[in-house]
Amino acid sequence: QGFTVQNGSSTSRQSSSALQMSSTGNNEEGVSRRTLFQSAAALSVASIASTFNPELAVAAGSPPTAAELARIKTGYDGLTYLLENFEAETTVCRENGGECKRDAERVRKYLGLRSTTDPLFQIEKVFVKVKYMDVDPDEIESFFEATEEWNTAQNMSNSMAFISQFAEYNPGGGKDEVLKYLDEAQKQVIQARGALKKILKAIESAS
């Protein structure tokens, strides 16, 4: 009988333990979908940041400030203005009615590649901080894709703009070559602006 009682106690303890484990499992399953996506977001954005620039991880730790978020919108508006006035913005004329020529330097400025005061200067650091915002899970994947698209478009547009500045004087070059590379730079600016639009949408979804 003693054995039976002891076995019964052991069975009770095992049942209790099983119930506790089941309860814990249910609690874990009850973790919101939003929380799971945020955890994935933290890992993924950090990975992207360290891939493109290890120093970006230093900027993480808290959500972006209102001023930092405003830089994205200002930069987006700047790219929109550039595209709507591309020829004028990429044309430089000498003083007193001198010769005019196409110049891609303004493209690089609008992309945040010329000065620390440019709205989009090192804007990737702000993207890294977005992982600390309560972004709608449905926008997470689009946000990741957009940050990658931004990096690609910015780098490509910068390269095309830089090459265009020397295309006229390179062997086999000329004004047509300048226009060719400027056109490629413009196409990448369109991609860059599209990426910022997706990023802004994700940010606006944060509650």
Map tokens 């860059």 to a residue. Answer: 192
pLDDT digits (tens, 9 = 90+) for 94-127: 877 678 888 999 999 999 999 999 999 999 999 9
- Say if residues 164 and 104 touch (Cβ distance below 8 Å): yes
State the pLDDT at residue 59: 47
pLDDT band (50, 70, 90) for residue 207: low
pLDDT digits (tens, 9 = 90+) for 139-195: 999 999 999 999 999 999 999 998 888 877 766 677 888 899 899 999 999 999 999
Closest by alpha carbon to 164, among 172, 155, 176, 154?
A: 176
Q: Using the Cα atoms of residue 111, residue 112, residue 117 and residue 119 in order, give the sign of their dihedral.
A: positive
The model carries a pTM of: 0.69
